[in-house]
Chain A
Amino acid sequence: MIEVKDLKVHFPIRKGFFRRVVGHVKAVDGINLNIEAGKTYGLVGESGSGKTTTGRSIIGLDHVTSGEILFEGQKLDLRKKASRDVQMIFQNPFSSLNPKRQVLDIVAEPLRNFEQLTPAQELERVQELMSIVGLSPESIYKYPHEFSGGQRQRIGIARAIALKPKLIIADEPVSALDVSVQAQVLNFMKEIQKELGLTYLFISHDLSVVRYMCDHIGIMYKGRFVESGTADDIFENPQHIYTKRLLGAIPSTDPRKRDELMANRRKVNAEFEALSKQYFDETGLAYPLKKISSTHAVAMLGEVK
């Protein structure tokens, strides 16, 4: 469905009066990924590891330094700002919707960009979208502040699915929400995925959410992948020390596991320090990925046990 080949996105660092370029932030530094139609690919990693930049470059919001993005076998025109087949749900439901515009205008915006509809047709489409995301038809005349966080995120989703896209890039769609509202949005995303046959690139740093949502997962570290595989590969058989450290840091909801968890965390952190040469090069970056099974790849030197 979508294939990303050796994607690099480097941002110039400018300094001084003449804004000279003094270096580059390698936000994304050579990543490869494939997403199958109808599946969910999770992108995980610490803050600043390049997740959002990866998503933005796929929909053409960030300028790609090098690499290729193939969509259904066709090369995406990376200069074109937006494709109707690929849409994005943004990180923050509180700031991603224009507070001065009615829901009708917010949701209809992509329709206005891509389709010539009469006002009556447009109204009908928007009302249909509202019912898909479980909001009342009258709510189209309200403003974003009149909705709860979960409802606002649904409005963002309604806008994202307005053009019946094939791929949705969901950047931390539930990170700002309470667990109860999070449950509502996640259930809903799964439902419409089935109904509309959507493919997701799901960006998150919450590993329990990723585990629930994703079929495949890529773990990012400083712009590169350290490991990729199926959800089971990653959670049941993690190989890279960074992945292990990440998994070790997830709090358990069982208060009796506290000490065990902390002991494991100490062990993994010690391992991380001790073995870092085997897993990171002199500059602290990950090595190229090596396949260890048909689905599972790890970035490390030497033989994989």
Chain B
Amino acid sequence: MADVLLELKNLKTSFRVKDDYFAAVDDVTLTVNKREVLAVVGESGCGKSALAYSIMKLHTRAQVEGKIEFKGEDIVTATPGRLTQLRGKEMGMIFQDSLSALNPLIKIGDQIAEAIYLHDQKISKSALKARVMELLTQVGIHRAESVYIQYPHQLSGGMRQRVVIAMAIANSPDLLIADEPTTALDVTIQAQILDLIRKLRDDLDAGVILITHDLGVVAEMADRVAVMYAGQIVEIGTVYDVMENPRHPYTRSLLHSMPSAIASKDEKLHVIEGVVPSLPLIPRVGCRFKDRMDWIPESAHEAHPTLKEITPGHFVRCSCYQHFHFPEEGVNA
């Protein structure tokens, strides 16, 4: 297993809400290999960003338990100095909220230059400028010269997102965590950014954690997929396991609710009733998804679902899949 880049074991990240700690990431175990894209999907509030932040230890006031090992190094106990060295250099992150990831008072070009200079103080001024221009062009910004001297608020959301991507890949990281990198972009630019991420993977053997709720992006990019619900991974496997042979009811519901899942305009889209529970309301015993599956009789549910390997590498947190069916789908054994 020489190729393992990142290993998480029983990772648990809890936030303080009122007087108690509640886990937003709960018992997450996974690995990311070199040259591998792992997609993380799930509805809003499932804990995807909390997971990403935990890996880079970016939370300031959270309790993080379990194991995070990056290239064999323990991240949980790493010193702040060491973390600063790793972040932005060996681990790059594209933040979900691009505006807050940029300093409003610093020119775009200078911000990217700073990200490079921070990890390479020997670089010459002209080489630095050239590298920034190259990065801006790579992320599809045509007027690189003029964007260089602009401030974040002068750019559209899509342009800002591309600047954040340029910063994340500036130092050719070994692991790239991309949190909804293309959600704010239109499809043609999205295609361009996805190409860029693929290139990073192919040219530098980088591993990528791609957080998205766009299942089309998942199908196009991922080698493996982890589906999160209420802080836990409920299904994980290869992209073919998860998209072609999904077993967990939540995964199947997500796939069913897409407009492209139905054949005719007159059909209704599948709706998952209810909402993702907020942290204090997540059921901590029994199945966390139960409240949203009222069409299965109580007696049928598994009491304490754990991740079980149903075929090599394909794990599902619910054994009820054997008798699970969608109401409109009929029986599906």
Contact = CB atoms under 8 A, between A and B. Distances in A.
B282 interface: no
Given A47-B158, A178-B43, A208-B259, A187 B268 contact: yes
Interface string A171-194: 000000011111110110010000
Given A148-B275, A249-B187, A208 B260 contact: yes
A216 interface: no
B220 A209 contact: no
Contacts, number: 105
Interface stretch (B9-17, B18-26, B90-98, B209-217): B209-217
A211 B243 contact: no
Interface stretch (A78-86, A113-121, A251-259): A251-259
A85 B188 CA distance: 35
B8 interface: no
A212 interface: yes
B244 interface: yes
A48 B156 contact: yes
Given A46-B186, A178-B44, A255-B239, A183 B219 contact: no
Contacts of B190: 249, 251
A251 B220 contact: yes
A253 B269 CA distance: 16
Given A47-B156, A149-B44, A249-B188, A186 B259 contact: yes
Interface in B156-171: 156-158
A265 interface: yes
A207 B190 CA distance: 13
A251 B216 contact: yes
A257 B240 CA distance: 12
Contact of A253 (B43, B213, B260, B271): B260
Contact of A209 (B158, B194, B259): B259
Interface string B175-201: 000000000011111110010000000
Interface in A41-79: 46-48
Interface in A221-274: 245-246, 248-258, 261, 265
A182 B257 contact: yes
B187 A179 contact: no
B270 interface: yes
Interface of A: 46-48, 148-149, 178-184, 186-187, 190, 205, 207-209, 211-213, 245-246, 248-258, 261, 265
20 contacts: A46-B188, A47-B156, A47-B158, A47-B185, A148-B275, A149-B44, A179-B215, A179-B254, A180-B272, A183-B257, A186-B259, A187-B271, A208-B216, A208-B260, A249-B187, A249-B188, A251-B220, A252-B219, A254-B219, A255-B243
Given A211-B259, A251-B214, 6 more contacts: A47-B158, A178-B44, A183-B257, A186-B259, A212-B269, A261-B220
Interface of B: 43-44, 156-158, 185-191, 194, 213-217, 219-220, 222, 239-240, 243-244, 253-255, 257-262, 265, 268-272, 275
